[in-house]
Structure 1
Amino acid sequence: MTRRSGYKRAALVFVLVLIGYLSLYTWNLKTGILDRLATRTGLEFTGHVLLPGEWARQQALGLWSGYVDLVDVREENERLHLVVHELISENVRLREQAASVPRLERLLGFAPAENWTARAARVIGQKLGPTGALGSVLVDLGEAHGFANDAPAVIPEGVVGRVLRTSPNYSTVLLLTDQNSRVAVMGSENRTTAILSGGGPDELFDLKYVPVSGTLSVGELLVTSGLDGIFPKGLPVARVVRVEQPDVSLFQSAQAEPLFDVRGVEELFLLARLDGGEAAEDIDGGQAAARPMGAPPEVQLPPEPDVPIMEQLPSGDGSGSAPEGRDNGG
């Protein structure tokens, strides 16, 4: 009895549920409210379920992208550093080229003296020797280029020095300021001759053998006289800064200053004679013979008379007759 009552209640509930479902279904077909409600509810549920997963995915992708980007940034930084270094090197090179243009333009404007030829050389070393005692530079011209010892080294501003030693392709130039350097000079205004002696780095030149009767003015430009047989005449050398008259000496005491810093020279000219001659230029017309480097100016003595001295003396009676025993008529 009880079981049959249970079946009837279940059947009744099923029928009621079916009637309710069909009623709702029919009502939903007419109104669509349940569809819209289900759609909105489903979307909200789905969105809330998927949102944490999407956030986790985005975070993972962000971390990976950031790592890859950092790697790319590091590589890009390395490339940029290389580019910056290359640009710095290029800038330095261009600055050096720009700074060398005026210097090279002055070299191009240099014209050697008559009967001399000039060839440009580059300074490739300084202070040669085991102890660097000599003030010298090494240049890239030598015997194979036609230069020998004592070849003048000059720039447009003046004398740099002279060749001390040569090899087939290189030469050592003794600088003008070295204590072993000697150059025959003269004043550009008063034409007084002297020997200019190097005093060492950052020191004044000493002027030797300046005649006491000669005129030498403070501020006067000294040029090569050509009497040493090494340098052509008229090249600028130094400027007088001190002149003192002696008390008992036959020569004045004088000093001169350099016209430029010879240690800063990067390019210079080596000079060679076109005719290969050895005679020095003379101040008064080119008649003086060549003398060793650093020798004092020679004193010109009057020629000895051809007539014996006794024949020039007057006789004791003032008549001027020749001594007895001589034929005055010759």
Structure 2
Amino acid sequence: MNLKKIAIFLVAGLFVYLSLYTWNLRSGHLTRLSTYSGLDSVGTVLRPGRWAGSVADGFVDRYVDLVGLKQQNEALEAEVKALRLENMTLRERAEATARVERLLAFPEPPDWRREGARVIAQRVGPTAILETILVDRGKLSGAVEDTPVLSPEGVVGRIYRAGLTASTVLLLTDPSSRIAVVGRDNRAAGVVYGMGEGEKLVVKYVGLTSTIEQGEILVTSGMDGVYPKGLPVARVTSVKREEATLFMEVRAEPMTDSARLEEVLLLKRAAQPEDTRALWE
């Protein structure tokens, strides 16, 4: 019974196949249908691959772009650093030029000539006991002991020890410094004594009958034989009159800030004409 049904099913199936085959040979519909359906199935299978490929291509492109941007950014950063360094160098040169111009604008005293020098060290010495600076001028360039040293603001000090190519400058704030001065306005005479780093200057030997005021500028009197007359030295900060003494207690502050000095002026005596009588000796 079952075999008969199977045989009938096989015969019916064969009949249907032959009918469809014959029909397809005449019309070609099944062939076209299978072609289209096969292409669609292949397209369906390949579509995720194409999407993944496009995503990968986009990722690679973006990575390449990011690498290029990183390199470009690094190049720009290096250029910015170079420009910043160049700007700092140009600004430093401009400031140095301005300082030199201020030095050159300092009026040259009669019978003296000026020469620029660069500060190459501060507080010279193994223990830095003395208030000194070192400048790049020595005996080979005509610098000698007691040569006055100035800044555009006023007196810095004098050469304490001259070497061949460099010299030590004793600052007016050093306790061993003495400068004869007068008040620029009231002409009260005195002597400025250094008291050490960070301390006020002391102006000694200002008589009780003299007139000197707080804020008055003290200038060199020329009486010490070291400095020419009229150079600014200090500004009076306090004046005390005590009847028990013959002199007033006067304190002052330097016109120059030695810690900020980078260039200074050396004042040298102009060459004097030789005595004609010496020519006959």
- Say yes or no: TM over 0.5: yes
Residue 170 of structure 1 pairs with residue 166 of structure 2: yes
1:85 to 67, 81, 86: 81
Partner of residue 139, structure 1: 135
Residues of 2 paired with 1:165 and 1:93: CA distance? 34
Q: What letter is aligned with 1:165?
A: R
Partner of 2:102, secondary structure, is helix
Residues of 2 paired with 1:168 and 1:137: CA distance? 16
Residue 276 to residue 50, structure 1, CA distance change in 2 (3 Å): farther
2:114 to 112, 118, 131: 118
Partner of 1:149, secondary structure, is coil
Alignment of 1:251-266 (within 5 A): 251-266=247-262
Residues of 2 paired with 1:141 and 1:231: CA distance? 18
Q: Is the Cα–Cα contact under 8 Å of residues 127 and 135 in structure 1 kept in the other structure?
A: yes
Partner of residue 24, structure 1: 27
Residue 16 to residue 257, structure 1, CA distance change in 2 (3 Å): closer
Alignment of 1:19-168 (within 5 A): 19-25=22-28, 40-168=36-164
The two structures have a TM-score, normalised by structure 2, of 0.79
Partner of residue 3, structure 1: none
Partner of residue 270, structure 1: 266
Greater alpha carbon shift after TM alignment, 67-76 vs 247-256: 67-76
Residue 223 of structure 1 pairs with residue 219 of structure 2: yes
Q: What letter is aligned with 1:51?
A: R
Residue 144 to residue 96, structure 1, CA distance change in 2 (3 Å): same
Residue 18 to residue 205, structure 1, CA distance change in 2 (3 Å): closer
Residues of 1 paired with 2:193 and 2:235: CA distance? 13
Q: Is the Cα–Cα contact under 8 Å of residues 207 and 255 in structure 1 kept in the other structure?
A: yes
Residue 158 to residue 21, structure 1, CA distance change in 2 (3 Å): same
Residue 134 to residue 39, structure 1, CA distance change in 2 (3 Å): farther
Q: Is the Cα–Cα contact under 8 Å of residues 135 and 166 in structure 2 kept in the other structure?
A: yes
Q: Is the Cα–Cα contact under 8 Å of residues 219 and 232 in structure 2 kept in the other structure?
A: yes
Partner of residue 240, structure 1: 236
Partner of 1:211, secondary structure, is coil
Q: Is the Cα–Cα contact under 8 Å of residues 216 and 235 in structure 2 kept in the other structure?
A: yes
Shift in Å at residue 195 of structure 1? 1.0
Q: Is the Cα–Cα contact under 8 Å of residues 238 and 257 in structure 1 kept in the other structure?
A: yes
Partner of 2:51, secondary structure, is helix
Shift in Å at residue 196 of structure 1? 0.5
Residues of 2 paired with 1:14 and 1:238: CA distance? 126
Partner of 1:251, secondary structure, is coil
Partner of residue 180, structure 1: 176
Partner of 1:185, secondary structure, is strand
Q: Is the Cα–Cα contact under 8 Å of residues 156 and 256 in structure 2 kept in the other structure?
A: no
Structure that is richer in helix per residue: 2
Partner of 1:56, secondary structure, is helix
The two structures have a TM-score, normalised by structure 1, of 0.68
Partner of residue 199, structure 2: 203
Shift in Å at residue 118 of structure 1? 0.8
Partner of residue 7, structure 2: none
List runs of 5+ in structure 2 lacking aligned partners. 1-11, 274-281
Shift in Å at residue 82 of structure 1? 2.7
Q: Is the Cα–Cα contact under 8 Å of residues 204 and 256 in structure 1 kept in the other structure?
A: yes
Residue 12 to residue 219, structure 1, CA distance change in 2 (3 Å): closer
Shift in Å at residue 101 of structure 1? 4.9
Greater alpha carbon shift after TM alignment, 156-165 vs 99-108: 99-108
Residue 222 to residue 18, structure 1, CA distance change in 2 (3 Å): closer
Q: Is the Cα–Cα contact under 8 Å of residues 176 and 262 in structure 1 kept in the other structure?
A: no
Partner of 2:248, secondary structure, is strand
| Larger Cα-atom Rg | 1
Give me the identity figure in percent.
Answer: 44
List runs of 5+ in structure 1 lacking aligned partners. 1-8, 278-330
Shift in Å at residue 148 of structure 1? 0.6
